[in-house]
Amino acid sequence: MIGNREKKSICWKTLRIESQNQVIVIDKYENYGVRDTCDLKEVRINESVIEYKPIDRGQEYFDITEQEKDSVFYYIYDIVTNPVYTEQFATCYVGNISIGFSTGSVTQVCKYNSVGNWTTISLSTEKLYNLLRRKTKISEY
């Protein structure tokens, strides 16, 4: 059960968690997930303008079981269908996160901008982070 609701039986195809410097994609029909990363370097253009340039890109595969994938889906489903309107705020666009799922024909996404540590927004964001950090590196910001 998610919150006060029953788990929905949805035939999902792809799960996606995207932050400023990484994308995690989990496909229903693969026994692994993929983490794409791009480390960024802060480049000062002038006193008031800072840009971020990519300096290192990489890709990592990680093992994930059917049960873990289903748990990730239900956390994402709850995050997307029950967004939390948070007062959390961070400057410099820290804490941008996009979390979503696709059924193949429909994609649903919840985006949070400048929330700092996104893992503290709700119980589902915390559980999602805790499960994924046991499988791969994942950023809290």
Q: Is the pLDDT of residue 63 over 90?
A: yes
Q: Output the pLDDT for position 131.
A: 97
pTM > 0.85: yes or no: no
- Percent of the chain at pLDDT > 70 equals 79
Residues 69-78: tens digit of each pLDDT: 999 999 999 9
* 138 domain residue, yes or no: no
Q: Output the pLDDT for position 9.
A: 75
Task: Report the C-alpha gap between 122 and 53 in whole angstroms.
Answer: 31
How many independent structural domains does the chain possess? Answer: 1
* 97 domain residue, yes or no: yes
Domain extent for 40: 14-133
**Packing angle of the helix pair 123-133, 66-81 (nearest 10 deg):** 150
* 127 domain residue, yes or no: yes
* 4 domain residue, yes or no: no
Q: Output the pLDDT for position 104.
A: 85
Q: Is the pLDDT of residue 3 over 80?
A: no
